[in-house]
Amino acid sequence: MQPYTTVENIASKTKVWLERIRPFNLHEMRLNTAASALLVVDMQRFFLDETSPTFTCGGLAILPNISRLMDAFRQAGRPVIFTRHEHHPNHLDSGIMGWWWQGMCLEGSPESEIHQDLAPRPDEKVVSKHRYSAFYNTDLETVLRGLKIEDLVIAGVMTNMCCESTARDAYYRDYRVFLPADGTGTINEEMHLASLLNIAFGFAYVTTCQALVEQVV
């Protein structure tokens, strides 16, 4: 199956997506850099390896864009936070997800590691999570409150699963949420676009990585 987007065509695809959601993407915001953080969601080998049962083709296309976002936030001295979706080898924390999904990402495995192009620095926070939302039963909210974060940029995979779930939970907690259409990815275009529509309509401002990079000053 051909990927719905690639590094080569994601810029042109993004223009189409943004035009499609424009009537609903009405809550335009400008990033308050001094109170912002970047959350990189589940950019792990488990989702980016073509042989994985949960290979996410859109994740490969967004790697360079997320890398540029990370560079901008780091240069501005703003936090870059990562998540890893992983489960205990004995599936103590799998619950219904163990039945729902083929294959599980196990903690401590090579597959659970974040892609080498986006490797966290030793002083950067990595949140281990067991469900879609990065807020569910994790210390993410405690970390964000401690850092006095108000604006949260969410990038990573999958747009319609962990990114959207996290964006919804961030909105419920009164964060201003920014989601780059070309900094999130999933397994097909229909799911990606549907999620962008949902997010723009109710939870976040959908923008681009380049627009955010230009605001991180």
Round to whole Å and give the CA distance between 117 and 204: 27
Q: Where are the beta strands (DSSP E) in the chain?
A: 36-41, 80-85, 126-129, 151-157, 176-180, 184-185, 205-207
CB 70 within 8 A of CB 38: yes
Please give the average per-residue pLDDT across 118-144, as a whole number: 98
- Fold observed for domain 10-215: Rossmann fold (3.40.50)
Q: What is the structure's pLDDT at 53?
A: 85
State how beta strands 36-41 and 184-185 pair: unpaired
CB 152 within 8 A of CB 24: no
Coil/strand/helix, residue 98: helix
Which of 21-25, 95-99, 106-110 has maximum average pLDDT? 21-25
Please give the average per-residue pLDDT across 126-152, as a whole number: 98
pLDDT tens-place string over residues 57-85: 999 999 999 999 999 999 999 999 999 99
Domain edges within the chain: 10-215
Q: In this structure, what token pair is assigned to residue 157?
A: 């995979």
Round to whole Å and give the CA distance between 140 and 189: 29
Q: What is the structure's pLDDT at 164?
A: 98
CB 36 within 8 A of CB 176: no
Among 52-61, 95-104, 112-121, the least confident range: 95-104
Round to whole Å and give the CA distance between 153 and 140: 14
For residue 190, pLDDT over 90 is answered with: yes
